[in-house]
């Protein structure tokens, strides 16, 4: 963070997510246990320092996009209200609700891609992580969001619905 000039507060949080940018309060959290699990899951093996540096750059990439993240809050609140009190099977069984959840996942995927693009720019400027390692970590990270979205789109197709483009 110091080398990029983007010095955010960092807090440990055992939330099950390796690292997260808390855009409302402008700080980064990390879960050391999840980081170790995620590192072990890497298909392209990297050392701990490389992994943490790349993921930190990604979170800093979110911080660069903070205004867009803040602007998305009203839509996210609407989705949370919609999901509130609905069991997951009901969410996945209603094509209209599932379509809204897909739209939310598509918005989140755009934020993730933007954060990785910003992180790539930071990495190019400061040369903190070897490009092949950085790319492998980014691809695997994005893959988790892409799979989640693809699964929901598949479920929607099974219901006879169509995802909104």
- CA angle 137/141/143 to nearest 5° reads 120
| The pLDDT of residue 162 | 61
| The pLDDT of residue 85 | 85
The three-state secondary structure class of 79 is: helix
| The pLDDT of residue 160 | 85
Is the pTM here over 0.95, yes or no? no
Low-confidence ranges of the chain (pLDDT < 50): 164-165
Helix/strand/coil percentages in the chain, nearest 5: 65, 5, 25
| The pLDDT of residue 39 | 97
H/E element holding 97? helix 95-126
For residue range 63-81, list pLDDT tens digits in order. 999 999 999 999 999 999 9
The three-state secondary structure class of 64 is: helix
């Amino acid at each position: 963070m110091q080398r990029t000039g983007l010095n955010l507060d960092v807090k440990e949080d055992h939330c099950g997510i390796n690292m997260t940018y808390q855009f409302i309060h402008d700080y980064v959290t990390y879960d050391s246990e999840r980081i170790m699990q995620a590192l072990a899951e890497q298909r392209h093996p990297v050392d701990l320092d490389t992994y943490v540096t790349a993921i930190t750059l990604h979170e800093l990439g979110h911080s660069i996009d903070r205004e867009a993240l803040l602007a998305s809050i009203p839509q996210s609140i609407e989705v949370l209200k919609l999901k509130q009190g609905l069991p997951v099977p009901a969410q996945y069984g209603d094509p209209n609700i599932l379509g809204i959840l897909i739209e939310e996942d598509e918005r989140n995927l755009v934020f993730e891609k933007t954060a990785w693009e910003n992180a790539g720019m930071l990495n190019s400027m400061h040369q903190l992580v070897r490009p092949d390692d950085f790319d492998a970590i980014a691809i695997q990270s994005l893959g988790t969001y892409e799979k989640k979205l693809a699964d929901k789109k598949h479920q929607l197709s099974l219901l006879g619905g169509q995802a909104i483009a």
